Structure 1
């Protein structure tokens, strides 16, 4: 029975219990101190506090940063406005890369990127920046990185010759893009040198091979001891007894093997198969080959299955060269897969030969112009990750292996630094738009196209703010941005960059703009010019105790009352004006702000890593004031712009009337009808 509980009280749930009070048996009936209406035995008071709806408890998100305490029955209602109950906007959309047919318009837009007035261009530039930061050059062009090039340049000539001497496979890239493989045998001395050398591939597998050899050696020693005992006891039944002992005691290696060569049946000893064939029967001989076949092949005691020189199917056929030119060659970062077969210590020598580009009918200057880092990287990213375009070609050498030929590029900015992204490569260049200004909204229920890039909003909001954000930003603005909310000239396909915003919030003149600082759309009220004092703006540097702006000279209570009418984004901007305004905005953090966790990755000495919360940060979201209705702006229609548009090519003006094609026939019919009457 739990401590402090009584035998009767433990089973009694009657609120009108009349059982007499006895020590260690029962206690008196009491009511809840919080006036929740519950009646129970006094010994159950602590248990009731865990369920009492009037008990003061912390928020359910206390571990996520919410500092508020409340009555238990108010927790559910509080979660709707809890500053730690955040929602991440998962709205997604697609953008296509700019094709070669749309270069005129996008070149004109790139010359004058007015992101404040052009909402579609501003959003496209934001998505393009996120895309370029996510594309790592090492994943697409590993052969053009600084480390790879330096390693090849700094490699001594002696190592190159040694690698050529130790190679067992020679690959040649032919005109048709296939790889011809030619095997070379190693002598016993070369095998010994290769086994002693530490400069081999897959050196991490050395311990695994050592464990296998040690197990084989221990098994061989134990087998020899068993054989010697059998010979002393039963010499007349030597062969049968030894065979049974080998089969029973040596499960991994059924043959008698030892390091000192006493039996001569180890896979690394010469003549093992000849001696084994004389001493054991055919069943044990086959069992030995099953367990030790791979080691016999590696040590040269047994030939591999159907070697090329003894192949009865293809041995007498001559290869016929296919006269097909492919403009692909294998990058230096690729290596033949046969280096991982059986023996990882064996090296491969590869010879890469580029094909001729005479079939393209392009000069060397034209080829260099085609190697644009941005367009090529976007195309390669679509090929590797989204499979939107085909820029590589594969051809089968045999039934197991496929050689892949990939087009190589000659970039002027190569070699690239380690960890460089596409954004780092073009950081010093003037900004240019490489993705379409039109975005396609998609949902998770639809299959996305494979040749476009997907983006997600990813902004965090309080639970009570998310509805307003999704309705105004994604449903009202972004979904109808092209052609309706934001209207461009109909001759934009010819290069015209004129645009205008058609809507503003009803009753509150304001302009929708894109804020680079928070990477989101914001609402900026239209302030009359009479309130700007000649266009001067308030500077935080001028704010001091002796030189306060008119707003800062107001009492703190009035400033707090004014700040209560501002939206979250405006509070975020106001908190950066001065220390006083920061303190004013801080009083509204629990009511209007949100608290988020900042995570950091910690790496341990043994190589592992984990994420931990570094701190809890209070901040305001990027939400602007909720807009329930939109109104048309008082601006001239697009037809007024077409009167002066430089891209509007007017035809020859006609001032004289021109007769219609069928006007004569109509006149004759009208005259005949009139005559009959």
Structure 2
């Protein structure tokens, strides 16, 4: 330490190194201070100058919750922070349980058709949950993603589509029969050629002669360019001749003879040089000339647009490897595998000449198949069901990665152009319409399976429309009870354990009964569609309901709210016995009950932050916390044990089941092996 350095305020040289509880060093200014005990009675003994530092470590110091920035308003002693985190209202957990639910196939529609007819009454647990998942599925499916060709389109005035541009380009090509046509008036632009190349019009594709006319026009244009260049050279030579004749009159005859000789040579050489001076793909040496004259960017764009023609005319080597490119011997055919099929291409040829030789190319023809071939008018054709067709297309995209009408590569060389048309009575659809909007006016029906399956690692759940997540928020101390009761006990046991269906459900029987109920509680399991979760519904005796109705009829409606007449302390005591779901429902009854439930928010509720985006005048934006939202979760009372209910056996139902048809055999039937046994006995 350098002598004479000024010591900071409250800094003592001895206190920095002293850790002795029984320190007896006398008090000296800037050297040491008195030893004291912690004012919070934590038992620590320290020098007075370290008191401020000790506050950051004292276990009895009152500090805010670790989740104070997330909305928790509580303060407590430091040693209670860990215990508080288990029940902190700001320590919120989102349930990430996921499952799949697939559409119903055509062979299993009997049961689901019968279930759809009885949806007016209270559905069973599995049906109610399937309907909730189906509603979420219909809202997530956008019609523009499945049927973009059936959406409403607003055609702007003065804008031509690709088909119209292709038609115009064909007319221009047919008008230009020979090279005598004026090129400056009827020459096709690059945009028109691209539109013609990408057009899906059958007539445009079948008219192959138009392409020959386009190439002929380009060839005639190149010839005309060569002639113009030759004329410019002749004019330049004539000007030079005239200038030299003025300066040297005595050699005029010799120059005239040379000029005539040069003109004759140029005229004779013009037909032979027209193929080596232009920039057409069929002219020799076009790439060498283009590499010297054009920029590297223009050179690359020329290769991109004319690569196929350059290969066909022998100006550019194909990318197919040749035998001389390999050092390990002759080239052998390799199996081509694609992502979609993983099949060996049937169109693969081992020889390189079979791929690009025009003489060996198989002749193809465009064949169009339409519903008009059936001989039935469009009005008589049956309309497609929007739900079935949309789910089928979504399932096709989910399983195979593409739509039914999408072009798919069958192997490494060829592509199948698939086309599927639909006739929907509600088409065309709105731009932002979902499947739920299309069938909003129809009666409800069940189109997905009542059995759910877990999500596996082999399934791509990130982009799946048939994967569902619980997504409910709970306090950290509530999550364990929710997952055990809702997902492990109820949801996983709907198919035959908690709820049992008739064995003949595959024939269409909709009978089901509940086999288990919570032990020690007079309650039953119900599915609440408002919160998309299972809840416990207490079983209220019918006598109490009748007494309430009688009292209401006798004393009037003003006597119904008898609970509100109780003192506030009694109401708070009663509300303390309710679970989180019951508190959330009770808070919506009246303003008084809302105030009563608000007193339990810090102990039973949870808090989250609501954010909003703020945009500034300079164009920037930021997110800020608008307010804190307090609410109760959807957790019901924890069920530790389940008991069998007093429901009758399923065999009693089978006696009266309409789908149970017995086949009584009265005549004796010979067993298959009985004749052989009789033959063996007779032989002995």
Q: Normalized against structure 1, the TM-score is what? A: 0.68
Measure, in 2, the Cα distance between the counterparts of 1:21 and 1:78: 42
1:456 equivalenced with 2:462 (yes/no): no
Equivalent of 1:615, from 627, 631, 634? 627
* Structure 1 residue 303: Cα displacement: 9.2
1:55-74 Cα shifts (integer Å, max 9, x gaps): 10111111111111110110
Identify the residue that residue 154 of structure 2 maps to in structure 1. 150
* Structure 1 residue 401: Cα displacement: 11
1:167 equivalenced with 2:192 (yes/no): yes
1:431 equivalenced with 2:444 (yes/no): yes
C-alpha contact (below 8 Å) 1:115/1:122 kept by paired residues: no
Measure, in 2, the Cα distance between the counterparts of 1:110 and 1:85: 42
1:71 equivalenced with 2:65 (yes/no): no
Equivalent of 2:566, from 540, 554, 563? 554
CA separation of 1:537 and 1:30: change in aligned 2, threshold 3 A: farther
Identify the residue that residue 503 of structure 1 maps to in structure 2. 516
CA separation of 1:466 and 1:316: change in aligned 2, threshold 3 A: closer
1:356 equivalenced with 2:356 (yes/no): no
CA separation of 1:596 and 1:485: change in aligned 2, threshold 3 A: same
C-alpha contact (below 8 Å) 1:94/1:441 kept by paired residues: yes
1:311 equivalenced with 2:313 (yes/no): yes
CA separation of 1:453 and 1:46: change in aligned 2, threshold 3 A: same
Equivalent of 1:632, from 619, 640, 644? 644
* Structure 1 residue 592: Cα displacement: 1.0
* Structure 1 residue 579: Cα displacement: 1.8
Unaligned runs of 5+ in 2: 1-6, 170-190, 222-273, 279-287, 316-355, 679-684
In the TM superposition, what are the counterparts of 1:451-490 in structure 2 within 5 Å?
453-490=466-503
Identify the residue that residue 267 of structure 2 maps to in structure 1. none
Equivalent of 1:414, from 427, 435, 442? 427
Measure, in 2, the Cα distance between the counterparts of 1:435 and 1:302: 49
1:222-248 Cα shifts (integer Å, max 9, x gaps): xxxxxxxxxxxxxxxxxxxxxxxxxxx
1:494 equivalenced with 2:507 (yes/no): yes
In the TM superposition, what are the counterparts of 1:479-628 in structure 2 within 5 Å?
479-533=492-546, 536=549, 547=559, 549-601=561-613, 611-628=623-640
Equivalent of 1:294, from 293, 297, 307? 297
Unaligned runs of 5+ in 1: 191-270, 276-284, 326-353, 669-677
* Structure 1 residue 625: Cα displacement: 0.8
Measure, in 2, the Cα distance between the counterparts of 1:512 and 1:373: 34
* Structure 1 residue 124: Cα displacement: 0.3
* Structure 1 residue 160: Cα displacement: 7.6
Q: Normalized against structure 2, the TM-score is what? A: 0.68
Equivalent of 2:48, from 34, 42, 45? 42
Aligned length, in residue pairs: 539
User: In terms of Rg, which structure is larger?
Assistant: 2
C-alpha contact (below 8 Å) 1:387/1:450 kept by paired residues: no
C-alpha contact (below 8 Å) 1:374/1:422 kept by paired residues: yes
CA separation of 1:296 and 1:449: change in aligned 2, threshold 3 A: closer
C-alpha contact (below 8 Å) 2:404/2:418 kept by paired residues: no
* Structure 1 residue 472: Cα displacement: 0.9
CA separation of 1:98 and 1:385: change in aligned 2, threshold 3 A: closer
C-alpha contact (below 8 Å) 1:116/1:514 kept by paired residues: no
CA RMSD of aligned residues (A): 4.6
C-alpha contact (below 8 Å) 1:382/1:388 kept by paired residues: no
SS at match of 2:477: coil
Measure, in 2, the Cα distance between the counterparts of 1:106 and 1:613: 47
* Structure 1 residue 421: Cα displacement: 1.8
